Structures are given as C-alpha cells and as structure tokens.
Amino acid sequence: EVQLVESGGGLVQPGGSLRLSCAASGFTISSYSMNWVRQAPGKGLEWVSYISSSSSTIYYADSVKGRFTISRDNGKNSLYLQMNSLRVEDTAVYYCVGGYWGQGTLVTVSS
C-alpha cells in the first residue's frame, strides 16, 4: 500500500521556522518529481513547490520564494520543506504530493 506521511507541522509564531518531512512507503520517490501543496482553512488548493526526481529542477510559488526550501533524500525515500520567516498567511494544511497525496500536516502561524 502506498503511503506518504507528513510530519513536522505545528504552532509557530510569525517569523519562526518549521521543517516539514514526508516519508514514503510502498512507493519509491526516486523515480518521481514531487510537490508540496497547501490548503488554508476553508479555501482551495494552492501549489507551493516542485522538485524533480534528481533535484536538478526546483520551482516555488511567488508567495513562498526566498522563504521556503524544498529538498529530497531519495536514499531515505523522503521529501522535505524548510519554511522560514513564516507569516500568518502561511497557515494551512501542507500536503506532500507525487501522484499520490499524503494525509497532510497542519501549520498554524499565530502569535
């Protein structure tokens, strides 16, 4: 069974940092490009970042560029999102996506 399990979410103050992780099982991420997608409470889906299978190509949404960093460790079958300088508007459920979707991890940015 394919599983993508995100972790690392939580409550953080504006300006703070979090590192999200996504561990894959039943699915080898090394052959696939991966994405992070987020969903603010009661809102639609917003694409956040993309990384190619070899990490050679990386894209970010303008809303997170310069603050978030996507990375992957194919040996650990894992995807990451380092989030710095967090803002209230970054509050959302963050999903790891590679054809399959994880269950999401909630990031709340509030003072």
For other proteins, the binding residues (CB under 8 A) are 35, 37, 44-47, 50, 59, 61-62, 95, 99-104
Q: For residue 23, what are its two tokens?
A: 């561990």
Strands 105-109 and 100-101, bridge-based pairing: unpaired
Beta-bridge mates of residue 50? 35, 59
Q: How far apart are CA 4 and CA 23, in angstroms?
A: 6
